[in-house]
Structure 1
Amino acid sequence: MESEELLGGLNPNGDQKQEEKKQSPLLSLEKDLEFYAESIKEVAVEIMVEGISATPIFIAHQHEVKLGEVILKREELNTNWTIQASTLEEFVEKGIIKPEKKEHFLKNYKKPEDFMCVFVIVPEGANFIFYPYAKK
């Protein structure tokens, strides 16, 4: 086994090899969320105003996901991430958020007028982030 393999991409000096430096997919996600922010906010407001849910959740992914409805398709917009709109209710119904964890989620849920709640799905797993509509 090579030392690079043991050190997880670090050379013996402890530096990361230049050619192995991979850009985090989250950097492209941040860029796309900034680009999408106005559209996402419009959909969030619509979900709340129409009484569909007080807790909109958006799903960011680069593959196919059977959750929510596609609102921004990366192939059509020449971006890296597709965004789908969903709700807390759908997440509970599909078992992504367990009913006993719903209250905990709501305590951490940020004001939807100021932050988009994004469920980010990457090959390594998935997690929730709250991204501000207007970066200060």
Structure 2
Amino acid sequence: MDREELLSATPEDSGEPKKQESPLLSLEKDLEFYADAIKEVAIEIMVEGISAHPIFIAHQHEVKLGEIILNREELNTDWTIQASTLEEFVEKGIINKEKKEQFLKVYKKPENFMCVFVIVPEGANFIYYPYKKGKS
């Protein structure tokens, strides 16, 4: 699922009175703010040979997966970001071993996109968020 799909369902489109703003709007703002730091960690994970497939977890609660790299309480933002890898996701059973190849087919270049596993009360899903253009 791309971020456009996640962010496109807005109450304004339905003609109904505006309800609570989607938490995904605040996620997009935080990912924009965090982009350089996330990209730096992704490159570090790849260069150090930890994994060729970094995955970042965005959440607002406590998650026992990966390591915290950006804490929402310390940074006064809405989302905490943790760094993980495809290997950890497979090891913990979040990505089924049989589905690993299928996942890799849709996994976007980590030099251009951050792979984010977004956890919200309704469930969790992967999104690919592009790094800003013109930034290295």
TM-score category by the smaller chain? 0.7 to 0.9
CA distance in 1, matches of 2:108, 2:15: 38
Q: 2:105 aligns with which of 107, 113, 126?
A: 107
Question: Which protein, 1 or 2, shows the higher relative CO under an 8 Å CA cutoff with sep ≥ 6?
Answer: 2
CA distance in 2, matches of 1:24, 1:107: 29
Q: 1:120 aligns with which of 118, 121, 124?
A: 118
CA distance in 2, matches of 1:135, 1:49: 22
1:118 aligns to what SS in structure 2?
strand
After TM superposition, the score normalised by the length of structure 1 is 0.86
Structure 1 segments (4+ residues) deviating >3 Å: none
Partner of 2:55: 57
Partner of 1:82: 80
User: RMSD between aligned alpha carbons?
Assistant: 1.5
CA distance in 1, matches of 2:17, 2:114: 36
| Bigger radius of gyration | 1
* Residue correspondence of structure 1 range 35-50 to structure 2 within 5 A: 35-50=33-48
- Matched-pair identity in %: 81
Residue correspondences, number: 122
After TM superposition, the score normalised by the length of structure 2 is 0.86
Partner of 1:70: 68
Unmatched runs of 5 consecutive residues or more in structure 1: 1-9
CA distance in 2, matches of 1:135, 1:24: 26
AA in 1 matched with 2:59: H
CA distance in 2, matches of 1:32, 1:135: 17
Deviation at 1:17, TM superposition (A): 2.9
Partner of 2:17: 17
